[in-house]
Amino acid sequence: MAKVPSKKWKSVIVLVGTLMLGLMSSLWGTAQTSREVPRTAWGTPGFGGVWDYRSVTPLERPEQFADKAVLTEEEAATVERERAAWVERIDAGENGSVPGNDIHTRVFLDFGTRTVADRRSSLIIDPPNGRKPPMTPEGETRGVNAGSFGSHALESLEDFNFSDRCMAALGVPLIPLAYNSYVQLFQTESHLVMLVEMMHTTRFIPIGGLPHGTVRQRRGDSRGHWEGDTLVVETTNFEYPVAGASRAATLIERFRRVDPEILAYEFTMHDPATWTARQTLRNHAQPIFEYACHEGNYGLTNMLQIAREAEATGRGRR
């Protein structure tokens, strides 16, 4: 008969087991998996390739999970099933019964099917409640001009926002979208180039000691440097707000290759309130496709024409 461990050894066993579990589940720690991380010819971790950042994990933690940061396997599976059922209701033509689906049909939606790899209940990891800090009064007014999705009159080009014009800097930072949540990374010793499929956002990021410029840009002004095997990118000088932040925001992104299939991605927005989110980027075998956006670039002309016709018939905007 095996000898029963003493209470002291039971405590040690529990402690060791807890530590091992933490190491195994961590995507951001220094521990590596058994598979080698690909490296470049100059020795840094290799980030090149197409990456899939779709996820059914929401940016902010749903109220149903309260202070629960990490889901059980069963809870994560339930979240995935519920999203699949949500999509099925759209396919069945029940759009009116699906909250938030007053615009798109199923053909435009591609949220993915999985939660993030470590089963967190939200992409936001700080604040601890998994939600953005409260906005200032100025922040509450940001984005009031919702372009063609708002209620104000559409009189000229200036009444449309950058999304209407297919000029939005989507993918800065990488937050899962309704569709086209893919990014292709090109890497040299001195630069990282990010080609985001949605609205063909392209970012050229110098790596090294180059100082920030002073010109505001739609994608901001980015500079990268290595901290060990983590590439840290700082972006400032935004021309217009991104991710709900102001033009004065500073975005800090961290890229770390976990194994051949996973790239851990973390970003912090300072505005001045700070919040941090973490995402799982999965290696994707398919290429990035062209994002034409306006077919023939007639979108704005057509929307202005429809607005004039609606006024003429007395219908106005709905």
**Predicted confidence (pLDDT) per residue in 166-176, tens digit:** 888 888 999 99
Q: What is the residue whose two structure tokens read 């297919």?
A: 166
**Predicted confidence (pLDDT) per residue in 262-277, tens digit:** 999 999 999 989 999 9
Structure tokens at 267: 């970003």
pLDDT at residue 20 tops 90: no
pLDDT at residue 43 tops 60: yes
Q: What pairing do the DSSP bridges indicate for beta strands 250-259 and 201-206?
A: unpaired
pLDDT at residue 90 tops 80: no
Which stretch of 46-55, 86-95, 100-109 has the lowest confidence by average pLDDT? 100-109
**Predicted confidence (pLDDT) per residue in 280-316, tens digit:** 999 999 999 888 887 667 888 888 998 899 888 877 6
Report the pLDDT averaged over residues 31-52.
85
Percent with pLDDT over 70 in the chain:
81
pLDDT at 47: 97
With CA atoms as reference, report the closest residue to 58 among 139, 140, 130, 142.
130
Cα 234 to the center of its chain, rounded Å: 16
Burial of 138 (0-12, 13-18, 19+ CB in 10 A): exposed
E strand segments, the chain: 49-52, 124-126, 182-187, 191-196, 201-206, 221-227, 230-236, 250-259, 262-270, 274-284
pTM to 2 decimals?
Answer: 0.82
With CA atoms as reference, report the closest residue to 293 among 156, 120, 189, 164.
164
Query: Within 10 Å of residue 204's Cβ, how many Cβ atoms?
Result: 11
Task: State the Cα torsion 146-150-155-158 to the nearest 10°.
Answer: 0
pLDDT at 164: 85
**Predicted confidence (pLDDT) per residue in 189-243, tens digit:** 999 999 999 988 999 999 998 999 999 999 999 999 999 999 999 999 999 888 8
